[in-house]
Structure 1
């Protein structure tokens, strides 16, 4: 059990490349229709950095995440930016209590954390049912190339004054799946370092599988792009972006 999750999450934020949030924001603004006071739901909003970017861009934003600890940090972050953003604890597999929206986003490969394609399809159906007519759903996912060729054997070590991190990735059993093993050493207020271990399992699918699941959920019109740009996916594209219209 992580006792000081705020400290732990601040390490996540520290190792996250801020440029990615710029890229997600730019891609979204390019593909979401201009609409005054459009209601936007950010799924898997984490510590709220992207939600704040969307709010500053003029959207009426709601953030949803599974982790209340993450949402507590997001709430503090929004408050210190003098922004009012409702952050809701919930699971994207069940959006029944959250209302409807003009736009829904799900970034940082969060869809890859679903257990299997059944859950991915369930998320798509939930999103479809909670989008207004003409609404847009944008999500990104790791490409099969990224999962199969880039991640296996990946190792990243980071050292700072108050934390150290070891990140190793291994091929998992299911097709196009990966296990990330993360070990953090975080300095407490008394100067001692405490170890925290986390395991993250991700899985992706062929583009055709995502297409079929989107169609089954009700989406008739969607396009696939790659690596934050308006270009078709290639053999070595690392991140796919799906822009889906209701």
Structure 2
């Protein structure tokens, strides 16, 4: 499960971007790349990675032969993405923008948004605004693929959820509890990072809010936004969704 932000209005990563990046599991990006490959069947495509974060997905897709552009609201995330691209000797355009306003961007064959970035949007109006923006930057038949956490995840799994991670230099705790809005959750993240000089640990805290909706509501907004065909799946497109599906994967075609 992801805890990347870097996308929604007023919800950007701070100086802890590198810490988040260290905690993300590489396997999820491999799953996403295989998912995209199954959908497209070809590599000569332009892809916009919406809320690209530290660039792991963008770099992986570029290494596979896709032409990728990354967009994120967080300059800290984009700085890490730029470092990652250069370390792999790749040139990837990385642009700072809010996903609710993509007016300065060109068209792409495909737009993706990974790791529930859309769940950091504050309300349905912002969500639909993003869908409309994406549709405007796709050609007829263009693909929009994204994932979000499900109401089962926010309502049943996350409340009371705890996670901790420790190594020789830092410690991390994650606690989740229900938000005030329906199908919303609040994540309380705490980092304890060692100061190399003093050998003391400094604590950093961030509060993250996520919100999701029923699958049918996403489909309704997508159809209203110009996607003539939109389907939802579980497990990276391999399964139909069920009552206990924790993450929805949407595959949408523009009219």
TM-score range, shorter chain: over 0.9
Query: How far apart are residue 206 of structure 1 and its match?
Result: 0.6
Aligned mates of 2:165, 2:250 — CA distance in 1: 32
1:19-47 per-position Cα deviation (integer Å, ceiling 9, x unaligned): 111111111111125252x1100011000
Q: What is the match of residue 3 of structure 2? A: none
Is the CA contact (8 Å cut-off) linking 2:43 and 2:65 kept in structure 1? no
Q: Tell me which stretches of 4 or more aligned residues in structure 1 moved more than 3 Å.
A: none
Is it true that 1:204 corresponds to 2:212 in the alignment?
A: yes
SS at match of 1:133: coil
Instruction: Structure 1 unaligned segments of length 5 or more: list them.
Output: none
Aligned mates of 2:112, 2:224 — CA distance in 1: 19
Is the CA contact (8 Å cut-off) linking 2:223 and 2:230 kept in structure 1? no
CA distance 1:33–1:123, change in 2 (3 Å): farther
Instruction: Structure 2 unaligned segments of length 5 or more: list them.
Output: 1-13
* Selected match of 2:93 from 83, 86, 98: 86
Q: What is the match of residue 24 of structure 1? A: 32
Q: What is the match of residue 120 of structure 1? A: 127
Give the TM-score taking structure 2 as reference length. 0.91
1:133-181 per-position Cα deviation (integer Å, ceiling 9, x unaligned): 2210000010111111000000111111111111000000100000000
1:43-90 per-position Cα deviation (integer Å, ceiling 9, x unaligned): 110000110011011111000001001101110110010000011011
SS at match of 2:141: strand
Aligned mates of 2:63, 2:155 — CA distance in 1: 37
Query: RMSD in angstroms over aligned alpha carbons?
Result: 1.2
